Structure 1
Amino acid sequence: MNRSNDEIETQDWLEAELADTLDEDYELELSEPALSEEIRKIYRKNHPPSIPRIDYFRSLLKLQSELIKLQDWVVHHKEKVVVIFEGRDSAGKGGVIKRITQRLNPRVVRVVALPAPSDREKTQWYFQRYVPHLPAGGEIVLFDRSWYNRSGVERVMGFATEDQVEQFFDDVPEFERMLVRSGIRLVKYWFSITDEEQQMRFLVRIHDPLKQWKLSPMDLQSRVRWEGYTKAKEETFARTNIPEAPWHIVEGNDKKRARLNCIDHLLRQIRYEDVPHEEISLPERVFNPDYERKVLPPELYVPSKY
């Protein structure tokens, strides 16, 4: 079967993007420190062979091209989308968010990762500090952790009282129904990893100077309180898994599969379609015969060190 010019151009684009992405991946691999042999043994034991790298990137790029179509559809129809990413520390939330936003317009797709609440915010209605970040028409907002901090880290670490947690469980289903009634498409993901996998990822971060910034005292405490987080997660699912905004669990031990499965699932949650685009053509450069480009002083230039 003969391929159309559009199909050939798309394939050429994918090949070019694949080459760039592989370069980025190789760069990240070079940054990994030489882990101890003992850690390597644990890693190999807990990580059977994943998707071959070339197949992973081909699939990722195709999914990212679909995300661009979704983005265009959201803008064209003034849709509002909220995606919540929850899960244990080091479960892979940031990795999938990075792959979702990698090729999208930051004016359309925003990531919200709020710090700990200020003293003033602690006196507000609990949901108040999240509301300003909700999308307007034509926007997608990705919450890297969300109002579910109350039933998770705040509860486990003792930053919220049992009465506050109970009030949260009473309020959050109706809060989310309000969002849906207002026209927001709300999708909730929980990234799930095993106890052994989290320990492995923390060890890697401890031994990697480029990743140590990802470890906070809270993260280290999450290892101590693993069972507490498990109980909190189970009650959160039981009391906030509503038909209007159900939870979707992503198995995260294999990072590559987790990213592909999550993005593929997200795309299936919204019935988007191609939208019309104006044809773009590059205008002719205007040349002014009287214009002479000035020579700038050399000290303005960044040194050509490489």
Structure 2
Amino acid sequence: MNQDELQRRIERELIDDYDEELEMEIEDRLAVDPDGEADTGPLEEKLQRARYFRELFRLQRELVKLQDWVVHHRRKIVILFEGRDAAGKGGVIKRITQRLNPRVCRVVALPSPSDRERTQWYFQRYVPHLPAAGEIVLFDRSWYNRAGVESVMGFCSDDEVEEFYRTVPEFERMLVRSGITLIKYWFSITDDEQHLRFLSRVHDPIKQWKLSPMDLESRRRWEAYTKAKELMLERTNIAEAPWWVVQAVDKKRARLNCIHHLLDQFDYSEIERPEVVLPERVRHANYLRQPVPANIIVPEIY
């Protein structure tokens, strides 16, 4: 392979990486015609998309620098993502983690507690997922389930909710004193926007799995969730770990604003890496590659 061909292969590889991001944009209702040609709409929409991707890639490069800095300085980071159903938490988490090392930055999305976990100290099941030195942990919903869905849906008593509010500030102060940086985001959308996003899930077979019976019930109890959110922000907005509200009606802007804000929370710097030199492959005259049995090869349908 000559140098020009190698350069073209590398360029194609980079383009393939970017295409992964474009595939994710199907979730944002990008229209596709039967022939598979993307209709990106009028010129201004194309320019907006170009600006979005340019800024997203720039921020993701900064996230890689932040990741290296966290590993180098052995920092421990916890980021909570809360908000109503369909508020866009998962979308921003995908964009944050997309180009990071999963051994450094991992996502925690716990299911409903088991019968055994319901008898434990409320915070106990979250503790094993906290980071060690050099790790970033993103909670897609967190211990604030007690202030939200559990409270609104009656999965816990009023006394348990009150105990949560008494305990959570001290719990979070303990985390901070132990050396964990704790950042809490609430994604805010309007009633009409949630209604629209729910409708898109109803009519999209790829997204219908996202609509649980609990999600549907949350539409009916919009006002109860609003009151629960207001109480949560009032009682758990502490100096050591304040809440940050992301305006999330525009999903793309919300992603960029959240990532930009997250980066601003750290006085990080680029960690110099040693130059990478690929070693020459060792070749042996008696090496013979054995043929792969035809019956175990995946059919090349495409």
- TM-score, length of structure 1 as denominator length: 0.87
**1:68-87 residue pairs with structure 2 within 5 A?**
68-87=64-83
Aligned sequence identity (%): 65
**1:286-301 residue pairs with structure 2 within 5 A?**
286-301=282-297
Give the one of 110, 114, 118 matched to 2:114. Answer: 118
Give the one of 266, 289, 295 matched to 1:270. Answer: 266
**1:162-173 residue pairs with structure 2 within 5 A?**
162-173=158-169
User: Residues 22 and 276 (structure 1 numbering): CA distance in 2 closer, same or farther, change over 3 Å?
Assistant: closer
For residue 208 of structure 1, give the secondary structure of its aligned residue in structure 2. Answer: coil
User: Would you say the 8 A contact 1:51–1:256 is kept in 2?
Assistant: no
Give the one of 224, 230, 234 matched to 2:230. Answer: 234
Give the one of 135, 151, 158 matched to 2:154. Answer: 158
Alignment-mate amino acid for residue 19 of structure 2: D
User: Structure 1: how far apart are the matches of 2:17 and 2:276?
Assistant: 25
Offset of residue 279 of structure 1: 1.5
Deviations 1:257-293 (A, max 9, x none): 0000000000000111111312211000111011111
Give the one of 137, 143, 146 matched to 2:139. Answer: 143
Alignment-mate amino acid for residue 95 of structure 2: R
User: Structure 2: how far apart are the matches of 1:68 and 1:55?
Assistant: 20
Partner of 2:250: 254
Give the one of 90, 98, 112 matched to 1:94. Answer: 90
For residue 124 of structure 2, give the secondary structure of its aligned residue in structure 1. Answer: helix
Matched, 1:218 2:214: yes
Partner of 1:304: 300
Alignment-mate amino acid for residue 245 of structure 1: A
Partner of 2:127: 131
- TM-score, length of structure 2 as denominator length: 0.88
CA RMSD of aligned residues (A): 2.3
Alignment-mate amino acid for residue 94 of structure 1: G
User: Structure 2: how far apart are the matches of 1:275 and 1:203?
Assistant: 45
User: Structure 1: how far apart are the matches of 2:174 and 2:251?
Assistant: 34
Query: Unaligned stretches of 5+ in structure 2?
Result: 1-10, 34-44
Alignment-mate amino acid for residue 152 of structure 1: G
Alignment-mate amino acid for residue 194 of structure 1: T
Partner of 1:24: 23
For residue 85 of structure 1, give the secondary structure of its aligned residue in structure 2. Answer: strand
- The total of aligned residue pairs comes to 282
User: Residues 21 and 55 (structure 1 numbering): CA distance in 2 closer, same or farther, change over 3 Å?
Assistant: farther
Matched, 1:62 2:58: yes
Partner of 2:177: 181
Partner of 1:42: none
